Amino acid sequence: MHFIGSATSALGQVGVVTGIVVVTWHPADASRLQRALRLTNEAFAETLGAAARTVAKWHANPSMALTLEMQAALDTLLSRASPEAQQRFEQLGAAGHLGRSTEADVRRVSELLSDARHLHTSLTWLDEVRDAPSGTTFGAVVTRAVRGQVEEPACAPSERPDRQALSRFLLDYYSHGDEIRGAIFLDTCAERLRTSLVTPDRGALSTARGIDARFELTRAPASAAPEATDALITAAEARLAACLSGRTRFVDQPTYRLLRCDTGAHGIRAAFGLSTFVRYGLTFDLLEAEAVGGVGSNAVRLELRDQLLPTLNTVLDPGSRECVGGALALTAFARPAQGGRPADFLLLVQERSSRVVNGAGRIAVIPKCFHQPTNEPPAEVDIRTTLLRELEEELFGRAEVDGTGDTCRLAEVLHPSRMTAPMTWLVDSANLDIRLTGFAYNLVAGSFEFPAVIAVQDETFWSEFGGCVEANWESSGLWRISSADADGIEQLLHDPRWSDEGLIAFALGLKQLAETNPDRVRLPDFEIGVTP
């Protein structure tokens, strides 16, 4: 075995003597050392003088026996690790259940995965991607769950980089030293707030009275399956193990896939095809966690992004890939003047739950949702239909349609007889105003974003139904702010916890509310811009 000089730098101080002794190395112990050193499969293999596929096999098969030569190489690697890495190695062993598992543990987790019907299509799809016998992914996910090898906690709020740091990281990845054309930013009195959103046309953003948008559903072949690289399989298995542990909620449902989006003076014309969420959730949606980890480690290479979304042209060509996304809206309720507060809009902002598959822990407007049909895709292809459905689910307490079942059994999801009392009141009074404010691609995962504003113009609604408004499981907190509180709005705009799409939807919604209801809105000075 040999050690590559360039890779040795990842170990920190060389020559540190450790008191840690591993009598017999097992694949789980080697994986624990890899995590402690914070190395990718390729870098870990290079450091050991092994092949990357060997490291991948350790993750998938914990019963493998390691050669004496490899055991010696691991002994040397551990002894040369920095004190911090050695400490992490010990802590992971104590807390991560990475020792040899018992048959009872495997049986218990296997039964749990067998009962998790909402994950079964994902297991089957990943078997097909890796061209492996049926059940291969099932066994690998069970192993990971038993041994605690689930998604790295890179997205934990305490460790997450602030919004601008992540945006700069992604803009640098795609810019190659030049400023990206079409990148959306916010100019405030204090600074320029850059984002990772890119719009193909400046006219695709509106701060006036909304955008004319038309959507159609077309037939299109499924996007090509990605190559089953070690990086992809490892990340996908880890996500499924995290879903099995209950840390993340993941349901494979029919999903709209963007094929093209034309923008210009005519407004927005978008065409969608149909896909399933697993094709996105186990591929492109994994890019967020990789990018977040890359910011923290100053990574110079992102394996998954290099594979799935390597260039800006790839981002801007949705038909060439699995481009899934959704809509999000600033929801505003008109209120009468009270005490010293003038008549205004009550604005709602959420903190995303740790259980959502993307944007966990970030601030966003509400509702925020993937664009998905229920049981009649051609009739539900309009983004505003999705927003209407999600408004009820995320704020008015309606039971979700996309549960863990295989299909939607309701014939008419938005039938008036099934609406909640708040939604019934809004529909009957014709005081619900839903307007799109833009379109953009998100560099985080190549997703599409349709920001919007939902305005309830009648002050009576909040008096009658304000007590019924409650965020669902997708939010860990719900904040409220007055549209007349310019100082509070300015402070919120600069909060580093925003998601980029949430920040821009908030800003666009504010501008449009100020345009249509100037007597109810007091804004600080800020402008929404696009790089030329």
Q: What is the pLDDT of residues 291-320, one digit of tens each?
A: 988 887 777 789 999 999 999 999 999 999
Q: Are 396 and 469 in contact (CB under 8 A)?
A: yes
What are the tokens at 161? 């980089």
Domain boundary residue, one of 81, 100, 119: 100
Is residue 82 included in any domain, yes or no? Answer: yes
**Dihedral (Cα; 27, 227, 325, 529), 10-degree rounding:** 100
The span from the CA of 102 to the CA of 98, in Å, is 11
Digit-coded pLDDT (tens) for 357-377 = 778 889 999 999 999 998 889
Q: Answer yes or no: is 218 within a domain.
A: no
Distance, in Å, from the CA atom of 88 to the CA atom of 82, rounded to the nearest integer, reads 10
In a domain? residue 129: no
**259 located within any domain:** no
Residue 405 confidence (pLDDT): 46
Q: Where do the H-state alpha helices sit in 176-302?
A: 230-244, 277-281, 287-297
Asked if 284 and 228 count as a contact pair (C-beta separation under 8 A), the reply is no
How far is the C-alpha of 119 from the C-alpha of 277, rounded, in Å?
11
Q: Which residue has the tokens 């991607």?
A: 129
The full DSSP string for 93-125 is: HHHS--SPPPHHHHHHHHHHHHH-GGGHHHHHH
Q: Is residue 313 part of a domain?
A: no
Please answer whether residues 521 and 484 qualify as being in contact, where contact means their C-beta atoms are separated by less than 8 angstroms.
Answer: yes
Query: Angle, to 10 degrees, between the axis of helix 500-516 and the axis of helix 163-175?
Result: 110
Task: Determine, yes or no, domain membership for 56.
Answer: yes
Q: Provide the mean pLDDT of the chain.
A: 86
The CATH number that applies at residue 497 is: 3.90.79.10
Tell me the mean pLDDT in the region 90-112.
Answer: 69
| Contact predicate 386/327, CB 8 Å | yes
Q: What is the DSSP letter of 223?
A: P
In a domain, residue 175? The reply is no
Among 83, 100, 117, the domain boundary falls at: 100
- Confidence band, pLDDT 50/70/90 cuts, at residue 458: very high
Structural contact between residues 119 and 66, judged by C-beta atoms closer than 8 angstroms: no
Distance CA 64, CA 143 (A): 13
- pTM of this structure: 0.79
Extended strands (E) in 267-357? 267-276, 326-335, 344-352
Asked which of 70, 100, 130 is the last residue of a domain, the reply is 100
Comparing 158 with 150, the larger pLDDT belongs to 150
**196 occurs within a structural domain:** no
Enclosing domain of residue 31: 1-100
Q: What is the count of structural domains for the chain?
A: 2
Nearest alpha-carbon partner for 132 in 197, 194, 56: 56
Q: CA dihedral defined by 120, 121, 126, 127, rounded to 10 degrees? A: 70
